[in-house]
Structure 1
């Protein structure tokens, strides 16, 4: 039984570290795009606003930017952003297991990163008023490519974070 407990703890620790690290890589990519090319990414304050309206039953907004602000929306949005990253890393570890996390390879991480685009395309963007896969935005294909780039960066971040975590935790867990 101690082995199952140790593996459970290892799973939780790795999922958290990999998810946080991958989300940070995604954020670094967004900073690079903004500074180098003036490309803006999602304002996570608006994610917090969208989440803040959910308890009152409002899932879909005409425009989240025009919706009533909610208290603590910036913290809520950024916290949710990182929690979502940990959730997606948990998906990766559930699909490929701890053995993958101990010796990570790029393709499973990129695969998970890219398929996570389903969440913004079919939940977040429609809920915030941008339509399915950004169909209601002025330049839907540009928005889609930005989402694909961000989620590809997240996938690459899953690999990088898993590799760093494997090096750091080697022999500790």
Structure 2
């Protein structure tokens, strides 16, 4: 169990870094912004007051520490999804990581923004209330697919580190 958590933390942080580096690349090369994680922090910050949804998170009042809360949540969620991968595939996956399970988990993580976060932010299910829902959906799918690739790459790195 101890290795499971350590491996999930390593792989989850690694995969989330890959996702963030890809987002930075999209911003620098194409000017495409990613999710502002302060909005995630604003949403989570409202939980203590019993607010779990917002008509429009962008227009909601800021919450103290929302940037730190949002980024901590982003990486914690990345770790949690890596744990799911390891629970499904087992620790033997770390010995010989394969791309397909990592990609499947990455793509399936798109369920979280589509059916939890976007509706809670006031954006509707699968971004249906945004100005360009198809683009928002494709960007979410793209980011989470890249996260899946990151799971695989972080798994490969961990596998190499364990063997040496």
Q: TM-score range by the shorter chain?
A: over 0.9
If the length of structure 2 is used for normalisation, what is the TM-score?
Answer: 0.98
1:170 Cα deviation from its structure 2 partner? 2.1
Per-residue CA deviation, residues 71-97 of structure 1 (Å, 9 max, x unaligned), is 110000000000000000000000000
**Corresponding position of 2:32:** 39
**Corresponding position of 1:5:** none
**Corresponding position of 1:21:** 14
SS in structure 2 of the partner of residue 65 of structure 1: coil
Distance 2:62 2:115 in 1: 23
**Corresponding position of 2:66:** 73
Distance 1:155 1:28 in 2: 14
SS in structure 1 of the partner of residue 76 of structure 2: helix
Return the match for 2:154 from 161, 165, 170.
161
Distance 2:60 2:115 in 1: 20
Distance 2:113 2:155 in 1: 24
Per-residue CA deviation, residues 7-47 of structure 1 (Å, 9 max, x unaligned), is x2211111000000000000001001111111111000110
Pair 1:93 & 2:93 matched? no
If the length of structure 1 is used for normalisation, what is the TM-score?
Answer: 0.93
Distance 2:104 2:59 in 1: 35
Runs of 4+ in 1 over 6 A off after TM superposition: none
Return the match for 1:148 from 134, 141, 144.
141
| 1:125-144 mapped onto 2 (5 Å cutoff) | 125-144=118-137
Distance 2:107 2:36 in 1: 20
Per-residue CA deviation, residues 110-165 of structure 1 (Å, 9 max, x unaligned), is 00000000000000000011110000000000000000000000000000000001
Pick the structure with greater CA Rg.
1
**Corresponding position of 1:52:** 45
Aligned CA RMSD, in angstroms, stands at: 0.8
SS in structure 2 of the partner of residue 107 of structure 1: helix
